[in-house]
């Protein structure tokens, strides 16, 4: 078999080409948009399937130099996630945010308990089983790509392939389940939302800011993210010295770095939503790069022995999320229209990612009316707080079973 080595810069080039390919296919195949499959997943997975065929037929095996550059992109993404919300915005949600955060942490914990329990029935390594729990479910492709290497370093061969496959399954499942779930809650409880011009104008304001390109603002946003990951690295090294028994991934500290940078900057210069809209764009680019890179380098042939167990484990995760958000999230958040939309959002990022949550919420709101509270709270929980709680929970489980 021919072994082709792809260096770091060539890996970057292939990654971008696959993102473009993914965007092209999304423009031509409507079901990819309908189910909110990101271009990075489309392009990366297609390439991974091609390399699977070439490997199985003994033709070519690709080796990519991606460790350093992939780590850079996912650290930038998590720093941008941390910078997404200021302390003033955190206070705005009040009691609902606290309750929702607790519910999110409970579901994340249950997802890992379920993964370990079902995995035990199939005699699967607990570290591999955890890669079907909250890591890819609530964590999505981002946490799957970030935590799987930690599991592999602990001896779980194939953790990356399992985690990314589970994240892709969850993303599709979240898109399919979300709309019907919201419809059932709204109609069963006879709920209705409101759609006002003021609320629409507020939502469109952020989009207009993104459409205006300012070189100085863009440079500032990039510099803030570099400072954030630098500060995150300092925190990471300090934590290693202070608590050597616990392995906390560097991207978690980069997220804290982004949170600190955001709030220190706003303390000095006041609220600058335009700057942090630029930070969001940097985060989106970094997310696309590291997800594509992670998926395109998957060794899918390592999944062969896990096919049936994985389907069973992931089906159980979908059922768990559905029951949790309909019976607990909806009820504890008030059993009103806002609660129904937030339950849809929780299902979205509890199985896939925040974009899935936003897409499915929008679908339900287009039919029944807008929920201002849901569109404020869900991105906050899905984009920042769930990643913080999930990082702690995942790390605890990994260290428990290492």
Check residue 131 and give its pLDDT: 93
Banded pLDDT at 132 (limits 50, 70, 90): very high
Query: Taking 80 as the threshold, does the pLDDT of residue 248 lie above it?
Result: no
Check residue 40 and give its pLDDT: 82
Q: Could you give the percent of the chain with pLDDT greater than 70?
A: 87
Work out the average pLDDT over 153-168. Answer: 87
Question: First-to-last CA distance in the chain?
Answer: 35
| CA neighbor of 84 nearest in space, from 280, 269, 239, 352 | 280
- Ranked by mean pLDDT, which of 81-90, 137-146, 204-213 comes out on top? 137-146
Cβ-contact 342, 377 below 8 angstroms:
yes
Average the pLDDT over each of 161-165, 172-176, 279-283, 291-295 and give the range with the smallest value. Answer: 172-176
| CA neighbor of 271 nearest in space, from 85, 79, 93 | 85
Check residue 195 and give its pLDDT: 47
Query: Taking 80 as the threshold, does the pLDDT of residue 38 lie above it?
Result: no
Check residue 130 and give its pLDDT: 94
Check residue 352 and give its pLDDT: 74
The pLDDT tens digits for 108-118 are 999 999 999 99
Contacts of 305 by beta carbon, 8 Å cutoff, 6+ apart:
none
Check residue 203 and give its pLDDT: 52
Query: Taking 70 as the threshold, does the pLDDT of residue 273 lie above it?
Result: yes
Work out the average pLDDT over 53-79. Answer: 88
Check residue 113 and give its pLDDT: 96
Cβ-contact 128, 151 below 8 angstroms:
yes
Structural domain spans, the chain: 67-282+306-401
Work out the average pLDDT over 364-379. Answer: 79
Query: Taking 70 as the threshold, does the pLDDT of residue 87 lie above it?
Result: no
Average pLDDT score, the chain: 84
Work out the average pLDDT over 224-239. Answer: 93
Q: Where are the alpha helices (DSSP H) in 297-353?
A: 307-324, 330-332, 337-351
CA distances from 73 to 13, 279, 292 (A): 14, 13, 11
Contacts of 35 by beta carbon, 8 Å cutoff, 6+ apart:
172, 175, 176
Check residue 94 and give its pLDDT: 73
Q: Could you give the percent of the chain with pLDDT greater than 90?
A: 32
Work out the average pLDDT over 21-50. Answer: 83
Banded pLDDT at 86 (limits 50, 70, 90): low
- Ranked by mean pLDDT, which of 254-263, 303-312, 342-351 comes out on top? 342-351
Work out the average pLDDT over 253-266. Answer: 88
Check residue 209 and give its pLDDT: 55
Work out the average pLDDT over 92-107. Answer: 86
């Amino acid at each position: 078999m021919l072994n082709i080595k792809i260096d770091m810069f060539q890996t970057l080039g292939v990654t971008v080409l696959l993102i473009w390919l993914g965007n092209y296919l999304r423009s031509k195949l409507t079901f990819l948009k309908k189910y909110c499959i990101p271009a990075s997943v489309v392009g990366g997975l297609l390439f991974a399937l091609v390399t699977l065929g070439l490997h199985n037929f003994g033709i070519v095996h690709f080796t990519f130099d991606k460790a350093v550059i992939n780590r850079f992109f996912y650290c930038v993404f998590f720093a941008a996630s941390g910078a997404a919300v200021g302390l003033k915005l955190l206070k705005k949600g009040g009691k609902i945010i606290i309750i929702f955060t607790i519910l999110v942490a409970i579901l994340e914990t249950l997802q890992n308990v379920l993964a370990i329990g079902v995995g035990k029935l199939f005699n699967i390594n607990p570290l591999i089983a955890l890669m079907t729990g909250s890591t890819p479910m609530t964590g999505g492709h981002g946490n799957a790509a970030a935590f799987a290497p930690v599991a592999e370093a602990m001896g779980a061969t194939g953790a990356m392939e399992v985690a990314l496959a589970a994240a892709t399954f969850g993303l599709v499942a979240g898109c399919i389940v979300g709309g019907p779930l919201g419809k059932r809650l709204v109609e069963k409880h006879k709920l209705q939302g409101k759609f006002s011009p003021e609320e629409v104008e507020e939502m469109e304001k952020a989009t207009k800011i993104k459409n205006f390109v300012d070189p100085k603002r863009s440079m500032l946003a990039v510099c803030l993210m570099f400072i954030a990951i630098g500060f995150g690295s300092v925190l990471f090294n300090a934590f290693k010295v202070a608590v050597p028994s616990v392995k906390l991934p560097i991207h978690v500290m980069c997220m804290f770095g982004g949170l600190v940078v955001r709030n220190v900057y706003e303390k000095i210069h006041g609220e600058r939503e335009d700057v942090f809209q630029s930070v969001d764009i940097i985060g989106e680019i970094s997310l696309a790069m590291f997800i594509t890179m992670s998926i395109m380098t998957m060794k899918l042939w390592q999944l062969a022995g896990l096919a049936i167990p994985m389907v069973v484990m992931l089906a159980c995760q979908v059922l768990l999320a559905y029951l949790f958000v309909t019976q607990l999230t909806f009820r504890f958040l008030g059993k009103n229209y806002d609660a129904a939309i937030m339950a849809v959002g929780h299902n979205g990022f509890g199985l896939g990612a925040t974009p899935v949550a936003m897409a499915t919420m929008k679908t339900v709101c287009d039919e029944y009316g807008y929920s201002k509270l849901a569109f404020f709270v869900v991105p906050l929980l899905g984009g920042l707080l769930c990643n913080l709680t999930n990082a702690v929970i995942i790390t605890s489980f990994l260290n428990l079973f290492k």
